[in-house]
Chain A
Amino acid sequence: MRSITRTLLAVLWAVALLAGGYALVLRLTEGHGPAAYGSYVVWGLGVAQYIYFVGISAGAFMLATLVYGLGVKKLEPVGRPALLVAAVGLVAGLFSIWTDLGHMGRAFLVLLRPNFSSMMTWMIWLYTAYAILLVLLGYAVHKKSPRIKLLALIGLPLVVSFSGGVGALFATVAAKPLWNSSLYPVFFLVGALLSASGLLIALLALQARQTPAIADAVSTLSKLILGLLVVEVVLEWAEYSVALWGGGGEHAALSEVLFGSYWWVFWGVHLVLGVAVPGAMLLLAKGNKTWQAVSGLLVVLTYLAVRLNIVIPGQITPELKGLEMSYVDPRLVYTYSPSLFEWGILLFCAAVASSLLWLGYRFLPLNSDSASHKEAKIA
């Protein structure tokens, strides 16, 4: 990486950390006061970033299980970075949702007095099991233990459960017609795999030391991303077209997504920058590392727009007609735009996550698999 690019990235990181740190101090001293969500749109950017980060974590773990559980040799260089991304994504996701709680100090109650009729409880318990498994698998991979395959195969249903489970957390809310869809768990699985593949292709393509094994893995990831982009669009088409044609309760919310004041988030950020541009770049890249990296970054960064378009529009339709006019207060409205404070929390999480990734790349032996793969090829 050129020194000017490195300096620019360092400056961006420092700004994100400082601004985000200030937002975190505000969260600890002022509670939820500076947040823009209210009592009708109750989940905002914090929840969107939570499902974004845990989605990346789940997707990365799925890719790791392809390597360690199912023995997909072509993706071998992805294995160790995927485990790192899975761990970092989980930390960032759980931190995001922790700061979103009204009482951060009571989060442990989900473990001490769980109510298993709640999807949220299941999620926390699955995350705990997943975190333990992630540490064990990471250690096993590092030590080249014979238990690697077993741990990865145990992890596969676990990660599918919690990734689909996040979708179910929304889908089981019958009061919100937009969320109450049986497609959501599948949608979340595909989204997890897509966003994680985007980040991993960027990380691999930007790696200073390139090998034929890495080039192979990048090429495989490219094909995987292209396929997932198609599946993602098909799922969206299925979800949106049925709702729009059928005219059910979700019609108003979807109309807002497609034609409302934030139409550009769906059409511009998601479909153009997140699907069309990276899709075209991957098709035309022909091994060009920069194009592959940029397309991966576009896929993963713009995926936050998909998450926002799930969380927010689901809540913008009044449960009872006229409720929004019955009592006038800034917290009792069906509109929402994240406040600077909320963007600050996101910046903090992004800065910490990128620091952890950098530290991982700096101090962890992430290239061992590719090295052994290369040796194996030569042999």
Chain B
Amino acid sequence: MEQANLVPIPKLPPAGAGESMIHRMLEELRRALGKPVAERRWGMVIDLRKCVGCQACTIACITENKLPPGVVYRPVITEERGTFPNVSKSFLPRPCMQCEDPTCVPVCPVGATAKRPDGIVAVDYESCIGCRYCMTACPYNARTFDFGDNRDEGGEIQPSDKVSSREYGRVWKREKDSSPIGNARKCTFCLHRLERGELPACVSCCMGRATYFGDLNDSTSLVSQLAAKANATRLKESAGTGPVVFYLQ
């Protein structure tokens, strides 16, 4: 499997108006990368009060990871409350929670899904047998199966379906019977971007700056400060999985 041939990381330009948070997160990210992997603990904070439900994160994720139809890592759930004229709408982006104690890991019969030292739950595409037990075990439905479906129109496979994915820092050509087709797939916090000093695609593209990312082991990082706020909650706390995705209510 060939390694992803990526362009060098550009130097950061001076921060523009409203961009200081992105710059801060990038600097913190690069500082974390200087530490051994086991000393990092990636986490995400999503400010639900800022999310406008534009779904740009969903699309950015699909574009970044070259996701085929039916595979989605970060859908945005819309909830409507009340009846006219007293109606409100709220949005909840749902990436993989990268749980501290993930239920998807112990059920994998071949150990193809594992928790990395930096906390990201990764799938070894070349070992995954496609039994989908991990998908039944996830209390957030954060995994989707790659059925090998394409966006074909009139039987023609579209060029977008031929582009290789760069997940886990490798090139995954989309070919019949070869991974990731036939595998369970999930959000990796854009691990391939992190390792080259870039923020996850969903964080970079968020126009409301509602998504924050960084090292939870760094007490001075933005995510650590936000995750410690009194209004920070996690989904399905009762499941006991310890998600590292926090929501600000």
Interface residues of A (CB under 8 A from B): 30-33, 35, 38-40, 42-43, 100-103, 106-107, 109-110, 113-115, 117-121, 124, 172-176, 315, 318-323, 325-327, 329-332
Contacts and interface: CB of A to CB of B under 8 A. Distances in A.
Contact of A115 (B111, B139, B141, B239): B111
Given A114-B110, A331-B145, A319 B139 contact: yes
A322 B77 contact: yes
Main secondary structure on chain A at its contact with chain B? Answer: loop
B108 interface: yes
Contacts, number: 154
21 contacts: A30-B148, A32-B182, A35-B147, A38-B145, A38-B147, A39-B70, A39-B141, A42-B132, A42-B136, A42-B145, A102-B131, A102-B146, A102-B182, A106-B129, A113-B110, A319-B138, A320-B92, A326-B75, A327-B58, A327-B72, A327-B75
B136 A173 contact: yes
Given A35-B147, A173-B137, 12 more contacts: A31-B182, A38-B145, A42-B136, A43-B132, A101-B182, A103-B130, A106-B130, A113-B110, A121-B109, A121-B110, A319-B141, A326-B76
Contacts of B176: 31
B217 interface: no
Interface centre among B92, B111, B183 (most CB of A within 10 A): B111
Contacts of A42: 132, 135-136, 145
Given A102-B183, A109-B127, A118 B133 contact: yes
A101 B182 CA distance: 8
A113 B148 contact: no
Contact of A31 (B69, B77, B135, B147): B147
Given A175-B139, A320-B77, A39 B131 contact: no
> At the interface, is chain B mostly helix, strand, loop or mixed?
loop
Interface string B105-116: 011111100000
A285 B160 CA distance: 65
Contact of B106 (A118, A320, A330): A118
A25 to B, nearest CB: 14
Given A38-B145, A176-B136, A323-B141, A331 B77 contact: no
A114 to B, nearest CB: 7
B143 interface: yes
Q: Most chain-A CB neighbours within 10 Å: which of B92, B103, B111, B136? A: B136
Contacts of A39: 70-71, 135, 141, 143-145
Given A39-B145, A42-B145, A174-B103, A120 B127 contact: no
Contacts of B106: 115, 117-118
B181 interface: yes
A330 B147 CA distance: 12
B147 to A, nearest CB: 5
A31 B129 contact: no
Given A102-B132, A114-B109, A115-B111, A31 B177 contact: yes
A33 B127 contact: no
Given A101-B129, A110-B109, A117-B106, A331 B135 contact: no
A329 B70 contact: yes
Nearest to A314: B136
Which of A33, A35, A42, A330 has the most B CB atoms < 10 Å from its CB? A42
A331 B137 CA distance: 18
